[in-house]
Amino acid sequence: MQTLEITKDIHWVGVLNTTLRAFDVVFQTRFGSTYNSYLIQADKPTLIDCVHEKFDREYLEKLRSLINLRDICYIVVNHTEMDHTGALGLLLKETPNAQILATKTASLFLKNILHAEVKGKMVEDGECISLGNKQLKFIHAPYWHWPDTMFTYLEEEHMLFSCDGFATHFCDERLFDDLVDDFAEDFRYYFEHVMGPYRKKILEAIEKIKNLDIRLIAPSHGPILRTDPWKYINAYKDWSTPRKDPHKKLILVLYASMYGNTKKMAEAVARGASTMTTEVKLLDAANVSPEFMRCEIESAEGILIGSSTINGDALMPLWNIMNIMFSVNVKLKKCATFGTYGWSGEATRLMEDRLKGLKLHIVQPPVKVLFTPTEEDLKRCSIFGYDFAQSLTTSSAT
- Least distance (Å) between residue 89 CB and ligand FEO: 17
- Least distance (Å) between residue 219 CB and ligand FEO: 9
Burial class (CB in 10 A: 0-12, 13-18, 19+), 299: middle
Question: Of 22 and 316, which has the nearer Cβ to ligand FEO?
Answer: 22
Question: Of 140 and 221, which has the nearer Cβ to ligand FEO?
Answer: 221
The SS3 call for residue 34 is strand
- Least distance (Å) between residue 152 CB and ligand FEO: 15
Q: Quick one: which of 52, 66, 64, 60 has its CA closest to 16?
A: 52
Question: Of 79 and 140, which has the nearer Cβ to ligand FEO?
Answer: 79
**Integer Cα distance of 374 and 363 in angstroms:** 25
Question: Of 199 and 221, which has the nearer Cβ to ligand FEO?
Answer: 221
Question: Of 220 and 261, which has the nearer Cβ to ligand FEO?
Answer: 220
Q: Which residues bind ligand FEO (CB under 6 A)?
A: 79, 81, 83-84, 145-146, 164, 220-221
**Integer Cα distance of 68 and 360 in angstroms:** 53
CA neighbours closer than 13 Å in the CB half-sphere of residue 382: 11
With beta carbons less than 8 A apart as the criterion, state whether 44 and 54 touch: no
Q: Where are the beta strands (DSSP E) in 43-200?
A: 46-48, 74-76, 99-102, 120-122, 128-130, 135-140, 150-154, 159-163
Question: Of 146 and 239, which has the nearer Cβ to ligand FEO?
Answer: 146
Amino acid 275 reads T
Question: Of 17 and 274, which has the nearer Cβ to ligand FEO?
Answer: 17
Question: Of 221 and 354, which has the nearer Cβ to ligand FEO?
Answer: 221
- Least distance (Å) between residue 52 CB and ligand FEO: 9
- Least distance (Å) between residue 18 CB and ligand FEO: 17
Helix (H) or strand (E) holding 339: strand 334-341
**Integer Cα distance of 206 and 283 in angstroms:** 32
With beta carbons less than 8 A apart as the criterion, state whether 49 and 140 touch: no
Question: Of 56 and 377, which has the nearer Cβ to ligand FEO?
Answer: 56
- Least distance (Å) between residue 99 CB and ligand FEO: 22
- Least distance (Å) between residue 164 CB and ligand FEO: 4
- Least distance (Å) between residue 320 CB and ligand FEO: 25
- Least distance (Å) between residue 83 CB and ligand FEO: 4
Question: Which residue sits closest to ligand FEO, CB atoms considered?
Answer: 81
For CA atoms 82, 85, 88, 89, the dihedral sign is negative
Burial 149-172 (b: 16+ CB within 10 A, else e): bbbbbbeebebbbbbbbbbbbbbb
| Helix, strand, coil tally for the chain in percent (to 5) | 35, 25, 40
